Structure 1
Amino acid sequence: MPFDPKLRDRPKRRFGPIPVRLLVPNFITLLAIGAGLTAIRLSTEGRMELAVAAIVFAAVLDGIDGRVARMIKGQSKFGAELDSLADFVNFGVAPGLILYFWQLHDLHNVGWIAAMIFAISGGLRLARFNSTIDDPKPAAAANFFTGVPAPAGAIAVMLPVYLEFLGAPRIPAVVTALYTLVIAGLMVSRLPVFSGKAVRMRVPPELVLPVFVSVVFIIALLIGYPWHVLTIGSVLYLATLPLGLKSYREKVKAEAALMGAEPGAASGLSANVPPASGAAHEERPTRLN
């Protein structure tokens, strides 16, 4: 075979060592995927309490990996895509299957359709976020998600399961299916949901110890009374969703007034909804949180 002189001038591809700081966040994300897959297995075996606990653990890891990546400057495009995959498995597929094996199977095909719609809604929400992450957004939308984030939706959709764990009578399967569809709709909706991204994370020195005590107290409550905490948290979260819409409208009006325009003109949108942006989990320039 004749030698091609062009090959001599072609630059050689070199792969340098990958810094450990780029791997650490991905290890956390892989651990979260393992928790989500384990939750699916536990639900098929009827161990629902452990299955739900695995989803909650995955949600905690989802809140950690992005912050760890930013803290150690370990963001990467690979990590962002892996995080999106983890969110779809942990907060879309796994909760839907848990609900199906727990009760929705009583409705046969109808129950399966409800579980499937929830899982697909989680995937659509993540796809919407990834496709619009670089789109320009108005200042009013800086502190809001569009729709309920995937991790919050996964925790909230299992509210009927928490109630049974607390000893309440099992609600009818039809009600569970309708509730599942409502949460799925909130995930893919354009409802402004407060994200807390703009909240300052600096703590005054005099409040450091009270903050530590508060965090330990919350963790202790979650460990000692998990179903009480998850039930109250889910109800309060859903009840405060209208407050996010009200706050967003006020910010849009304030922005419009500042620019001397009609409400909604400052952002190029109506005062009801923010532009299509998204989550976690479902919060990321390079990782989804």
Structure 2
Amino acid sequence: MQDESRPRQRPRRGIYLLPNLFTTATLFGGFYAIVAALSGRYSESALAILVAMVADALDGRIARLTNTASDFGKEYDSLCDMVAFGVATGVLVYAYSLQHLADYQWLGGKLGWVIAFAFVACTALRLARFNVLTNIAGGKGDFFGLPSPAAAAVLVFYVWSAHSWGLSGETLLPLTAVLTLGIASLMVSSVRYPSFKAINLTGRVRFVSFAAVVGALALIMVDPPRILFLLFFGYAISGPVAALAGRRLRLRPLGKGGGGE
């Protein structure tokens, strides 16, 4: 029996303001990106998703630094990520390029939005799997599958780069379709990707490391869409490349030139 003399603990009400404000900024960036993409303002849409990415990168760190992490915040973050990195990115790619697949009448002219929806669905599956693994393992270690913000970044900065060069989405239609399906497949794969959540932003670093970060930021500012596309595309293909390299090393027989003492 329960001790009636002890006061009952009431459930905590309310939510933490600061981290959830940044999470809401992620949601707003995704929503504004959809509006801009549907109006043909593709660079503006890509910039809005970039803002959403920055807000998403900050909300979790702020919650941990201020000790304001909560289950509500985690669920809210996943929903906002789905809008910004799933729906908004899918709409942007479709509006810029994939909509032109309707001219070929494949699948009754619906192939373009089917490919865009495949990306959105894979984003939802990736986020759901991440939440399950986080509850089991505490979110430590490498990622399984390409993280949804990185997947969105590849497509977003691809569109931004192509549009800033004046390239038509119809001209790049085959490349866009292959890239969208490839990135979607990587999200739901079991390929390992390194996590950068363990980086300590409040600790001391060597001067050389700090100078490298400043140099990288300066390089990005020279040509943001193309430099960011190359960085995130390199991260996306690093997983399969590392997996294939590791498999070749495991399968290579010992012998002449094959290792051993």
Matched, 1:31 2:25: yes
Rounded Cα–Cα distance in structure 2 between residues aligned with 1:15 and 1:131: 24
- Of the structure 1 ranges 233-242 and 93-102, higher mean CA displacement relative to structure 2 is found in 233-242
SS of the residue aligned with 1:154?
A: helix
Match of 2:191 in 1: 191
Identity among equivalent pairs (%)? 34
Q: Which runs of 5+ in 2 are unaligned?
A: 1-6, 103-109, 251-261
Match of 2:67 in 1: 73
SS of the residue aligned with 1:158?
A: helix
Matched, 1:91 2:92: no
Q: Which residue identity is paired with 2:115? A: A
Match of 1:58 in 2: 52
Rounded Cα–Cα distance in structure 2 between residues aligned with 1:203 and 1:247: 34
User: Do the aligned partners of 1:148 and 1:186 also contact (CA within 8 Å) in 2?
Assistant: yes
TM-score of the superposed pair, with normalisation by structure 2 = 0.78
Rounded Cα–Cα distance in structure 1 between residues aligned with 2:31 and 2:210: 32
SS of the residue aligned with 2:146?
A: coil
Rounded Cα–Cα distance in structure 1 between residues aligned with 2:57 and 2:246: 24
Rounded Cα–Cα distance in structure 1 between residues aligned with 2:136 and 2:10: 34
Per chain length, whose mean CA-contact separation is higher, i.e. which structure has more relative contact order (CA < 8 Å, sep 6+)? 1
Aligned-residue Cα RMSD (Å) equals: 3.1
Match of 2:237 in 1: 239
| Superposed displacement of residue 29, structure 1 | 0.2
Number of residues paired by the alignment? Answer: 235
User: Do the aligned partners of 2:150 and 2:236 also contact (CA within 8 Å) in 1?
Assistant: no
Match of 1:7 in 2: none
Rounded Cα–Cα distance in structure 2 between residues aligned with 1:172 and 1:31: 31
| Superposed displacement of residue 72, structure 1 | 0.2
| Superposed displacement of residue 193, structure 1 | 1.2
Alpha-carbon spacing, 1:89–1:16, altered in 2? closer, same or farther (3 Å): closer
User: Do the aligned partners of 1:43 and 1:97 also contact (CA within 8 Å) in 2?
Assistant: yes
Rounded Cα–Cα distance in structure 1 between residues aligned with 2:247 and 2:136: 21
Q: Which runs of 5+ in 1 are unaligned?
A: 1-10, 253-289
Rounded Cα–Cα distance in structure 2 between residues aligned with 1:197 and 1:65: 12
Give runs of aligned pairs for residues 205-216 of structure 1, distance below 5 A.
207=206, 209-216=207-214
Rounded Cα–Cα distance in structure 1 between residues aligned with 2:94 and 2:9: 49
Match of 2:76 in 1: 82
User: Do the aligned partners of 1:33 and 1:58 also contact (CA within 8 Å) in 2?
Assistant: yes
Match of 2:172 in 1: 172
TM-score of the superposed pair, with normalisation by structure 1 = 0.71
| Superposed displacement of residue 248, structure 1 | 7.8
User: Do the aligned partners of 1:157 and 1:180 also contact (CA within 8 Å) in 2?
Assistant: yes
Alpha-carbon spacing, 1:57–1:230, altered in 2? closer, same or farther (3 Å): same
| Superposed displacement of residue 129, structure 1 | 1.8
Matched, 1:145 2:146: no
Rounded Cα–Cα distance in structure 1 between residues aligned with 2:83 and 2:144: 20
Higher helix share: 2
| Superposed displacement of residue 204, structure 1 | 4.4
Runs of at least 4 residues of structure 1 off by over 6 A? Answer: 246-250
